[in-house]
Amino acid sequence: MNLVSNDPSWLVVTLNRFHSYIAVASFTAVVYDWALTFGREVELVWRQHWSLTTILYLTVRYAGIPYVVMFMLGSLPSVPLTGIVSNTMFIALNCMHVVVAAMLGVIMITRLHAMYQGSRKMLIFLIVILLVLTIAGGVTTAIGIKRNSEDAVSGIYQCTYKYDRDGRLLMSITWILRIVWEVLVMCLVVWIVIKHFRQLRPSSQAAIIGDCFVVLMKTHAVYFASFVAGSWLALGYFFSTVSDSTSMGHNGALNIFSVMQMFVLGPRLILNIRGYHAKLLAEYETRTRIPPPNISHEPSTSGHVTV
């Protein structure tokens, strides 16, 4: 015979166990993806000429491991943490989230700068927009952290965090600012891809450039789709008026999508295009004597199309 308890504390314990499962799943996903792509990383990143995108890739990729470790340690009921340690980890996770989001924005700027053939106006426009949105998001996140209240769960060594009404509003503003940036970037990507396909004339070089734009579009589409799902869950969580169990479910799924977008799909934005570029160069070296077109994964100030 099954026993059903109406004690609210049992619901809290169950929800926090679910949250710990999410944390372990996030840790597993990041470490597994790192192990899966490490061979390509050595070949396409470590052994190549170092540049801004190299630094961005390594920083985002290897920031993910301490992020998911702290997230997991702060979520496991079996790991005893003092209030000071738990609060410090909470602040560190939120700060890392803001910094990594800004670095992903810089990665997007380098891609768009290349796709728009090194346009200085586009570069300045994107830098100004990202700077304004990052500063605004950082300020709202800092205020939201200060308003956060810490509630110790009775009977387990774990701290959970709940936002009051104003705190949820501030954190939702942070997500809305990110949505503005990602939607803007996606629109610019779609526009330049359509424009290039309409202007390209049939030729071997045009076909290669077109294929490169297709690779860029595919990688960005997957990244953007993950962000859309995470944003929907984030806004649903911060504006939630439903039960605690449903709200915790939204928060758990949000953590998964956020970790995957930042530390799995984010680094792949660089790794996949570098892999395509390396494959393209190898094919030209083995099949033809014609020098490959001026296609690179780095922005260029020349008049050639670079991606």
Q: How confident is the model over 117-139, as a mean pLDDT?
A: 93
More confident residue, 31 or 286: 31
Q: How far apart are CA 23 and CA 96, in angstroms?
A: 16
pLDDT tens string 91-113: 888 889 899 999 999 999 998 99
Could you give the percent of the chain with pLDDT greater than 70? 71
Architecture of domain 8-287: Up-down Bundle (1.20)
Are 53 and 107 within 8 A, CB to CB? yes
pLDDT, position 118? 86
Q: How far apart are CA 139 and CA 151, in angstroms?
A: 24
The Cα-based distances of 298 to 37, 65, 119, 188, 301 in angstroms read: 21, 26, 14, 18, 10
Rounded to a whole number of angstroms, the distance between the first and last alpha carbons of the chain is: 64
Q: Buried (b) or exposed (e) across 136-155, using 16+ Cβ within 10 A?
A: ebbebbbbbbebbeeeeeee
pLDDT, position 153? 40
pLDDT, position 278? 83
Take residue 40 and report the two structure tokens written for it: 């390509």
For residue 211, name the pLDDT band (cuts at 50, 70, 90). Answer: low
pLDDT tens string 238-259: 776 544 545 555 666 778 888 9
The per-residue pLDDT of the chain, averaged, comes to 77
Which residues pair with residue 100 across a beta bridge? none
Contacts of 79 (CB under 8 A, 6+ apart): 73, 157, 158
More confident residue, 229 or 240: 229
pTM, to two decimals: 0.80
Which parts of the chain are beta strand (E)? Answer: 149-152, 159-162
pLDDT tens string 262-279: 999 999 999 988 888 888
For residue 31, name the pLDDT band (cuts at 50, 70, 90). Answer: very high
More confident residue, 149 or 138: 138
Residue type, 11: L
Confidence check: pLDDT of 155 > 70: no
